[in-house]
Amino acid sequence: MGEFSRSIASLTAEMLACNTLEKAQAYLQSLNEPISLHSYIAGSFKAWDAGSTSSVDSFEPKTGRLIAKIPNTSEADVELAIHHAKLAFPTWSKTPRSHRSDCLRRIANLIQENRELLAVWESIDQGKTLERAQVEVDRAVSNFSYFSTYILHEQTPARMIDATSTSASVLTYEHRSPAGVFALISPWNMPLYLLTWKIAPCLAFGCTAVAKPSEITSITAFLLTAIIHESEILPPGVLNLVLGDGPTTGAALVASPNIAGVSFTGGTATGIALRKATAHQIGKHLSLELGGKNPLLLFSDALVPTPDHPAPLPHFAALAAAAAFTNQGEICLCTSRVYVQEASYPAFLATFAAHVRATYAPGTTPAMGALASRAHYDKVRGYLALAEREGATFEVGGVPPEEPEGGGYWVGPVVLTGVRGGSAVLREEIFGPVVVVVPFGSEEEGVRLANGSGYGLAAVVVTRDGGRMRRVGEAMEAGVVWVNGWLQRELVLQGGWVGV
Ligand code: NDP
């Protein structure tokens, strides 16, 4: 086992003992200062000194209090982490798949064993409810267990080239080999779940990793490395963690010529910056999962009761609400524009608004916690103030106060109508509990409105007409299309058409 300084060891032990919200809150209350999180390089946590290292403050969204300090890992230390990941690569990439599979399965088990405490810290750090955090920890378990078996059964395409008068037939096949060290950069909305969705396939396929979570939500990434460190499952250098902000730590990681590829999930503007920053490094792999302004298109045919579907209106109103407000709307795949066919518009809006009011009061349901940061609160509030200035109707909710009440970043659900066509509220990603409802007439108009944003991440089509499912589903300019459902996901799906 690598060096594990006593103070860091006791910090992680204390945090890992907090398996209820009450225990974690009591622990935080008992401290005289915020928790210091640490980067993890070559099998050791790296101690740092707040006097000499620049750092980032991390606040608890539900209360607004300072709970943690994160070092801005320097370019030199980022390069050190990459260096050790590179040293670990030749051996790890040649480690038999069966062994890598076993390592991933054991990590899945460890996350499962630590489910409650990881969910507790995720809820405290990100603002989400404990119930939502538990769902995401379960998905983190699935990330490791899925790829632990996937690599054992991976297939590769093979094709024949016909014989010609001058040559025999030729068998061609695709061979994939581990590329090297990957930079894994994740956002703040589903911290553990999204980071493990990068770590698991990276390690499964024989690459080594330098991971950087968002500076706003680094706690569960730190705890995950502590749990893996204690288990001694991975050789030093295979998984490294560098904490810090995007411009300092993230940018240094992406720019390094020793990084073979970058797997990034985050905002579109950052994605563009990453593409520019790596444009000259032609061999560098770049995977970008960016923002969304996702439509839900509801056709009147779906609301006709049938013997096996006697109450479609409340059912689909609940579906649209879940798609809009799960995790406070802080999921890239959340619906933020609901288009409803004119004949059903009044009935749908009334049922939808009543359901949202009854179900999504902040803090009272599994779906709604506090927004992740003060900066994000201000951003969401800015869009709502704009909607008000532009004369939109708040069917549910309103503009939150400039200074968050009680210090926490709470914003209740907002349903808007009467938003003007070109408004930024309808065009730009708000990434909060805000949804705009708009009527449409013909199928063609609905498709045009749904496709009328610069994004193309996901869409939902609600119809019970089989022909329309395919016709409209395939006309959606989106990477993933759900029909009569939302958020079901096959982990290796790169985009496609999901019918339920
Ligand atoms: P950001 O783009 O601001 O940040 C994402 C990550 O990139 C963070 O770790 C951030 O670090 C880091 N980063 C920022 N600047 C740089 C840089 N110059 N070089 C390298 N890394 C950098 O996104 P948010 O964290 O605000 O997350 C919200 C966004 O993520 C939304 O747009 C959402 O739609 C999108 N998202 C997309 C998903 C998808 O699968 N398509 C899923 C989930 C979210 P730091 O925060 O420390 O500055």
The reply to whether the predicted model has a pTM over 0.75 is: yes
Q: Find out whether the beta carbon of 456 lies less than 6 Å from any atom of ligand 1.
A: no
* pLDDT attached to residue 2: 43
* pLDDT attached to residue 32: 87
* pLDDT attached to residue 345: 98
Which CATH number characterizes residue 250's domain?
3.40.605.10
Question: Which residue's CA is the nearest one to ligand 1's atom 25?
Answer: 187
Distance 289 CA to ligand 1 centre (A): 9
Which is catalytic among the residues 79, 122, 215, 289?
A: 289
Distance 389 CA to ligand 1 centre (A): 29
- Same-domain check for residues 283 and 304: no
Distance 346 CA to ligand 1 centre (A): 38
Q: Find out whether the beta carbon of 143 lies less than 6 Å from any atom of ligand 1.
A: no
Q: Find out whether the beta carbon of 330 lies less than 6 Å from any atom of ligand 1.
A: no
Q: Domain ends where: 289, 304, 338?
A: 289
Write out pLDDT tens, residues 463-478: 999 999 999 999 999 9
- Same-domain check for residues 323 and 345: yes
Q: Find out whether the beta carbon of 455 lies less than 6 Å from any atom of ligand 1.
A: no
Distance 248 CA to ligand 1 centre (A): 14
- Same-domain check for residues 440 and 325: yes
Q: Find out whether the beta carbon of 267 lies less than 6 Å from any atom of ligand 1.
A: yes
What letter does residue 43 receive in the DSSP assignment? Answer: T
User: Which token pair is 310?
Assistant: 């006697």
Residue 17 placed within a domain = yes
Write out pLDDT tens, residues 341-367: 999 999 999 999 999 999 997 766 657
* pLDDT attached to residue 491: 67
Residue 493 placed within a domain = no
Q: Find out whether the beta carbon of 214 lies less than 6 Å from any atom of ligand 1.
A: yes
- Same-domain check for residues 343 and 471: yes
- Same-domain check for residues 205 and 279: yes
Q: Domain ends where: 289, 310, 342?
A: 289
**35-36 sheet: strands from edge to edge:** 35-36, 66-71, 55-59
Percentage of the chain modeled with pLDDT above 70 = 96
What letter does residue 300 receive in the DSSP assignment? Answer: G
pLDDT at residue 500 is higher than 50: no
Question: Which residue's CA is the nearest one to ligand 1's atom 39?
Answer: 289
- Full DSSP string of 341-392: EGGGHHHHHHHHHHHHHHH--TTTSSS----S-HHHHHHHHHHHHHHHHTT-
Among 332, 378, 491, name the best residue to mutate to test ligand 1's pocket (greatest count of ligand atoms within 8 A of Cβ).
332
- Same-domain check for residues 263 and 303: no
* pLDDT attached to residue 492: 65
* pLDDT attached to residue 470: 96
- Same-domain check for residues 448 and 470: yes
- Same-domain check for residues 257 and 182: yes
* pLDDT attached to residue 363: 64
Query: Quick one: average pLDDT of 111-124?
Result: 98
Q: Find out whether the beta carbon of 215 lies less than 6 Å from any atom of ligand 1.
A: yes
Q: Find out whether the beta carbon of 217 lies less than 6 Å from any atom of ligand 1.
A: no
Burial of 53 (0-12, 13-18, 19+ CB in 10 A): middle
- Same-domain check for residues 126 and 249: yes
Ligand 1, atom nearest to 212 Cα: 9
- Average of per-residue pLDDT values in the chain: 94
- Among 43-57, 89-103, 294-308, 338-352, which is the least confidently predicted range? 43-57
Name the helix (H) or strand (E) containing 470. Answer: helix 466-475
- Same-domain check for residues 258 and 405: no
Q: Find out whether the beta carbon of 252 lies less than 6 Å from any atom of ligand 1.
A: no
Q: Find out whether the beta carbon of 187 lies less than 6 Å from any atom of ligand 1.
A: yes
Among 54, 189, 270, 333, name the best residue to mutate to test ligand 1's pocket (greatest count of ligand atoms within 8 A of Cβ).
270
Residue 395 placed within a domain = yes
pLDDT at residue 494 is higher than 90: no
Residue 406 placed within a domain = yes
Residue 170 placed within a domain = no
Among 188, 253, 275, 336, name the best residue to mutate to test ligand 1's pocket (greatest count of ligand atoms within 8 A of Cβ).
188
Residue 108 placed within a domain = yes
Q: Is 388 a residue of the active site?
A: no
pLDDT band for 484, please (50, 70, 90 cuts).
very high
Distance 186 CA to ligand 1 centre (A): 6
pLDDT band for 498, please (50, 70, 90 cuts).
very low
Query: Quick one: average pLDDT of 479-498?
Result: 75
pLDDT at residue 489 is higher than 90: no
Ligand 1, atom nearest to 254 Cα: 20
Report the distance separating Cα 33 and Cα 202, nearest Å: 36
Residue 82 placed within a domain = yes
* pLDDT attached to residue 53: 87
* pLDDT attached to residue 365: 64
Burial of 138 (0-12, 13-18, 19+ CB in 10 A): middle
Distance 250 CA to ligand 1 centre (A): 10
Q: Domain ends where: 272, 289, 306?
A: 289
- Same-domain check for residues 266 and 298: no
* pLDDT attached to residue 51: 81
Report the distance separating Cα 322 and Cα 303, nearest Å: 18
Give the domain extent around 349.
294-483
Name the helix (H) or strand (E) containing 438. Answer: strand 434-440
Q: Find out whether the beta carbon of 246 lies less than 6 Å from any atom of ligand 1.
A: yes
pLDDT at residue 497 is higher than 50: no
Cα–Cα–Cα angle for 333, 141, 56, rounded to 5 degrees: 65
Write out pLDDT tens, residues 83-114: 999 999 999 999 999 999 999 999 999 999 99
- Same-domain check for residues 193 and 122: yes
Which CATH number characterizes residue 435's domain?
3.40.309.10
Q: Domain tally for the chain?
A: 2
Residue 490 placed within a domain = no
pLDDT at residue 389 is higher than 80: yes
pLDDT band for 49, please (50, 70, 90 cuts).
confident
Query: Quick one: average pLDDT of 273-298?
Result: 96
